[in-house]
Amino acid sequence: MLTLHFAPNSRASRIYWLLRELDLPFELNRMDFNPKDLKSDEHRARHPLGRVPVLDDDDVRIFESGAIVEYVLAKYGNGRLKPDVDSPEFPNYLQWFHYCEGMVMPPINTIVVQTILLPPDRRDETALGQAQRLLGKALGPVNDALEGREYLAGEFSAADVMLGHSCIMSGRLGAVTDDMPHLKAYIERLQARPACQEAFAA
């Protein structure tokens, strides 16, 4: 049985979303997004840094959201949510799957730290402004790639779970502007998916 160690408003939502899209049964260990739960000895035994997501699959334990997605698809996907390696969409899938952590999430992390996690007297407006500009630049190519397309790699895929989650978070941070119409429509399509709705409501 799969067990997902989960906290809301985190990358763990990606794994919840993926498991629901694949209609895989799993148990949910829901924790609060605070040090009491995430930095506990119990959870540090699962993840040395006290982060989420962590996935248990019987005697297998794995963390890092991208690694978990690849593991689940390889073991349980049966070819779903991923273009075949011979498909012309496969390079797009790989590119956008990894683009989220390489380009979009780093400035999101800074924005969250500077606007939510740090107390006001420790926030750095210069760092915040730089991160907001970087996020806007990172989202531009995603908007361009979605022109005339519903999803990033042809049909809905795990790349949309990975990067789509980051785009939804970007929208919540006010970074998806009116000059990104393709990205705005894409986010609306993703949020209309029942599995996405359930993951973000968990």
pLDDT tens profile 86-136: 999 999 999 999 999 999 999 999 999 999 999 999 999 999 999 999 999
Task: For residue 48, report the phi and psi dihedrals to the nearest 5 degrees.
Answer: -60, -25
Mean of the per-residue pLDDT values of the chain? 97
Instruction: Specify the pLDDT at position 46.
Output: 97
Q: CA-CA distance, 140 to 43, in Å (whole number)? A: 37
Q: What does CATH list as the number for 90-193?
A: 1.20.1050.10
Contact, 53 vs 5, CB < 8 A?
Answer: yes
Q: Where are the domains of the chain?
A: 2-76, 90-193
* Beta-sheet pairing, 2-6 with 26-30: parallel
Where does residue 79 fall: left (phi above 0), alpha (psi -120 to 50 degrees), or beta otherwise?
left
Instruction: Specify the pLDDT at position 183.
Output: 98
Contact, 4 vs 15, CB < 8 A?
Answer: yes
For domain 2-76, the CATH superfamily is Glutaredoxin (3.40.30.10)
> How many residues can be counted in the chain?
202
Instruction: Specify the pLDDT at position 60.
Output: 98
Dihedral sign (CA 147, 148, 154, 160): positive
Degrees, nearest 5: CA angle 28-33-39: 95
Bridge partner list, 62: 55
Instruction: Specify the pLDDT at position 164.
Output: 98
What is the per-residue pLDDT across 12-47, written as a single tens digit (0 to 9) for each? Answer: 999 999 999 999 999 999 999 888 999 999 999 999
Q: What does DSSP assign to residue 152?
A: T
Contact, 170 vs 184, CB < 8 A?
Answer: no
Contact, 31 vs 37, CB < 8 A?
Answer: yes
* Tokens found for residue 169: 């978070």
Instruction: Specify the pLDDT at position 192.
Output: 98
| Percent of the chain predicted with pLDDT > 70 | 100
Degrees, nearest 5: CA angle 177-182-188: 85
What is the per-residue pLDDT across 52-63, written as a single tens digit (0 to 9) for each? Answer: 999 999 999 999
Q: Which of 27-41, 71-85, 146-160 has the lowest mean pLDDT?
A: 27-41
